[in-house]
Amino acid sequence: MCEWGELLSEISACTKCVLHRSRRNPVPGEGSRSAQVMFIGEAPGAREDETGRPFIGAAGQLLTQLMESIKLQRDSTYITNVVKCRPPSNRDPSDDEIAACLPYLIKQIMLVKPQLIVTLGRHSSRTIYELAGLKWVSMAKQHGKPIEVSIASIRTTVIATYHPASALYNPNLRKLIEDDFRNAIARVISREKESKRTLLDYL
HSE, CB side, 13 Å, CA atoms: give it for residue 71: 5
Say whether 160 sits in a helix, a strand or coil. Answer: strand
- 94 DSSP 8-state letter: P
Helix 122-131 / helix 95-112 crossing angle, nearest 10 deg: 70
Tell me if 20 contacts ligand SF4 by CB under 6 A: yes
Task: Write the single-letter amino acid at 44.
Answer: P
Q: Are 81 and 120 in contact (CB under 8 A)?
A: no
Q: How far is the CB of 89 from ligand SF4 (least distance, A)?
A: 15
Q: How far is the CB of 154 from ligand SF4 (least distance, A)?
A: 21
Q: How far is the CB of 185 from ligand SF4 (least distance, A)?
A: 27
Tell me if 7 contacts ligand SF4 by CB under 6 A: no
Tell me if 100 contacts ligand SF4 by CB under 6 A: yes
**Among 55-63, 96-104, 105-113, 143-151, which window interacts with ligand SF4 (CB under 6 A)?**
96-104
**Among 94-102, 115-123, 146-154, 185-193, which window interacts with ligand SF4 (CB under 6 A)?**
94-102
Of 84 and 123, the one with the shorter C-beta distance to ligand SF4 is 84
The closest of 34, 133, 28 to 76, measured between CA atoms, is 34
Q: Are 38 and 114 in contact (CB under 8 A)?
A: yes
Tell me if 11 contacts ligand SF4 by CB under 6 A: yes
Q: Which residues are at the interface with ligand SF4 (CB under 6 A)?
A: 11, 14-17, 19-20, 26, 83-85, 97, 100-101
